[in-house]
Structure 1
Amino acid sequence: MENPCQYCGTSISIPEKGTLIVKSLDNKASSLYRTLLEVESQGTNHLFQYESLQELKGVAATLVEDGLEEQLVSLKSATSTQPILVQHLYERLTYPEMTATIEEGWFTTHLQPIVHLSDHSIFGYEALLRPTHYEINPMQLFSFAQRAGLHSMLDQKAREEAVKKKAELIPKGQKCFINFLPSTIYAPEHCLSHTFSIVNRYNVNPAELVFEVVETEAIDDVDHLKRILRTYQTFGMEVALDDVGAGFSTLERLSLLTPQLVKIDRSFITDCHQDESKQQFLKEVIDIANQLEISVLGEGIETKEEYEWLKQLGVHYAQGYYIGKPSPYLMEAIATQ
């Protein structure tokens, strides 16, 4: 069973049969510790021979139950010995369909249109990952990847699929918005080199790519995020800050990060045409963005009333089901004047 590790898409292998090597456990009360005392030992290591992945999963489950999910163990086969965290091992063995989806790249990209509010013309599309082989919710897949240590591989492959879709379908002159996980980018110059090589391979104009920080991650290290954004921008790409007004995407950070675009959290878009508190916030966003020369995009627009009110306010771009749903194909925006 081939599985990727958590670092930049490197693959490791979980042998169908082999040896689980566990170092001396701090938890002497562990039921697994007592079991391991009865099997072969080498110095401070305890060796557990398993004959099937199901048997290995049972051992991993015991370690998790004993609170040892952060324990680093090793898997030994006839040809190699590879380290892995107990939590990552347990998740990959428990959800093999999700592991295979990430490892094999069993997903595609759907495109959701984004329009100019000034004239309703297509500005670009957001690339959204959709699994193909199993009925897996994309958010569930990303959550699993985080727990299983596969988030870097998934993020990297999703970026490549989006760039490929831009090259194949999205016309020149129109943008492609691509989500990325800051937590997967340890050293921007190194970790993003794969993305930049893909852009060159598919002959995509970097200026037509917009990389946006996904809304599911809270950012504690703003300086690190700033370095990531600057790396994208140095290569000629644009960056966007997602869900402004929610979570870490506060107005105060706009001047620190200076993205080219900001996407307003959909919670401030719903019924914005009749909610005075939301209107006040949206006006504040527009004022600050104009001062910093940042474009503003309203997402999650579902009604004509929301669309028209945002247009009158001066929001630059719009996205949402009122305009067009995600689709594997290009589609014309449905919003009308």
Structure 2
Amino acid sequence: MNCSGCSPIYPIEGQGTLYLRPVSPALLEALQTKGRRVEYSEKVLWFDFSDTQELLKRLEEIMGMEKTLSIALTVQLKSAAEGLFSDAEGDWISLSMQHSRIKHADIVSTILERQFSSYMQPIVNASEHIIGFEFLLRPGERGRSFSSYELFEAARETGLHSYLDRTARITAIETSARHLPQGVKRFVNFLPSSIYNPEYCLTHTFEAIERLSLDPKDFVFEVVETEQIQHLSTLQHIFQVYRSNGMSVALDDVGAGYSTIDLMSRLEPDFVKIDRSLIDHCDQDRAKQQKILNIVQVSSQFGGRVLAEGIERIEEFDFCRSVGIELAQGYYFGKPAAHPPDGPYLGPSYRAAK
């Protein structure tokens, strides 16, 4: 199996060839009218370019023609060293996507060259003992600065969000292998929309865990998605594949956006992470307290462990503990860092040393 999200992706520098399909007599005529040298066969038409600026200009011309002629073009870009086009469907992308990859070449390079790292934020139990860490994407030491939101939005636009999501997961797994002992939970984010076929798309994740001789039971893969989940059955299938490989799953941001109590009830995740917007000053807000209680009560019905995100004050933590929430995360316990704290993972001693 192959798809555009899982196929190898290479940066284009210098000269090469752009292939387009389908072959349209109207498009061919429009290109030739512009005085461009275009070659073609029954399957594709193509032209050479000498640098990326020329390519960008040509792509913008063709995008205008595509709109005028009401056709949908897919393209394939090859550097001078790569040779002829491939018939594989996974090697073809939309014209607009290819334009975005050239236009945002710096961000594409950040993704392809893995110029990012995984930071770790502690997760504690009710006794403030650190039981795990969430892994969060951050710029690399020598890479360009970015926000995670900016990087993933650009990845969506360029068709690289599956590649980025997969690579970020593997980076988190590798980071955990360097820093954490067995038995410490590792919460790793994933985007459901990046996983087209769980059995195939998650293979790289499972292989990384096996390659590094890590215990699958230490991993919790949590859904992070800013868009509405269109096909619940697909996400349920993804959960099943993770669990069948010995790992746990979590639903993030419950109580905000699309992560509703109803969705939580239907998915029955192993871990339920309450959104920080509900936790903020929850000790002073009865409406928030009732929503939190509802989440705790529903979670108890299917055995989900509840985690409060965004704890910044002891009063918030105290309220959460008082209603039976056993796990917590937030700046009160520690900010994301490149390394875990030294010594035993004990809450009071850790906080005193911060």
The two structures have a TM-score, normalised by structure 2, of 0.85
Task: Tell me the residue number matched to 2:84.
Answer: 80
Between 1:326-335 and 1:169-178, the stretch displaced more is 326-335
3-state SS in 1 of match to 2:120: strand
Please identify which structure carries the higher helix content: 2
In the TM superposition, residue 47 of structure 1 has moved relative to its aligned partner by 3.6
For the pair 1:125 / 2:133, whether they are aligned, the reply is: yes
CA distance in 2: counterparts of 1:324 and 1:207, whole angstroms: 24
Runs of 4+ in structure 1 deviating by more than 6 angstroms, as ranges, are 24-28
Question: Which residue identity lines up with residue 221 of structure 1 in the other structure?
Answer: H
Question: Which residue identity lines up with residue 159 of structure 1 in the other structure?
Answer: R
In the TM superposition, residue 26 of structure 1 has moved relative to its aligned partner by 8.1
CA distance in 1: counterparts of 2:74 and 2:32, whole angstroms: 16
Counting only pairs closer than 5 Å after superposition, residues 4-19 of structure 1 correspond to structure 2 as 6-12=4-10, 14=12, 16-19=14-17
CA distance in 2: counterparts of 1:245 and 1:211, whole angstroms: 19
3-state SS in 1 of match to 2:55: helix
Aligned residues: 329
Between 1:277-286 and 1:37-46, the stretch displaced more is 37-46
**Gap regions ≥5 residues in structure 1:** none
Cα distance per residue 1:69-110 (max 9 Å; x no partner): 963123354612253322221122112221111111111110
For the pair 1:57 / 2:59, whether they are aligned, the reply is: no
Question: Which residue identity lines up with residue 169 of structure 1 in the other structure?
Answer: H
CA distance in 1: counterparts of 2:235 and 2:7, whole angstroms: 21
Question: Which residue identity lines up with residue 238 of structure 1 in the other structure?
Answer: S
Counting only pairs closer than 5 Å after superposition, residues 322-337 of structure 1 correspond to structure 2 as 322-331=332-341, 333=347
Counting only pairs closer than 5 Å after superposition, residues 1-337 of structure 1 correspond to structure 2 as 6-12=4-10, 14=12, 16-23=14-21, 34-37=30-33, 38-39=35-36, 40-42=38-40, 46-64=45-63, 71-76=73-78, 77=80, 79-81=83-85, 83-116=92-125, 118-132=126-140, 133-331=143-341, 333=347
> Structure 1 residues 335, 216: closer, same or farther in 2, change over 3 A?
farther
The answer (yes or no) to whether the contact 1:152–1:184 under 8 Å persists in 2 is yes
In the TM superposition, residue 6 of structure 1 has moved relative to its aligned partner by 3.6
> Structure 1 residues 9, 122: closer, same or farther in 2, change over 3 A?
farther
CA distance in 2: counterparts of 1:284 and 1:22, whole angstroms: 54
CA distance in 1: counterparts of 2:72 and 2:159, whole angstroms: 12
Between 1:39-48 and 1:236-245, the stretch displaced more is 39-48
> Structure 1 residues 179, 59: closer, same or farther in 2, change over 3 A?
same
The answer (yes or no) to whether the contact 2:226–2:258 under 8 Å persists in 1 is no
CA distance in 1: counterparts of 2:247 and 2:190, whole angstroms: 13
CA distance in 2: counterparts of 1:95 and 1:33, whole angstroms: 30
In the TM superposition, residue 272 of structure 1 has moved relative to its aligned partner by 0.8
3-state SS in 1 of match to 2:283: coil
The answer (yes or no) to whether the contact 2:23–2:45 under 8 Å persists in 1 is no
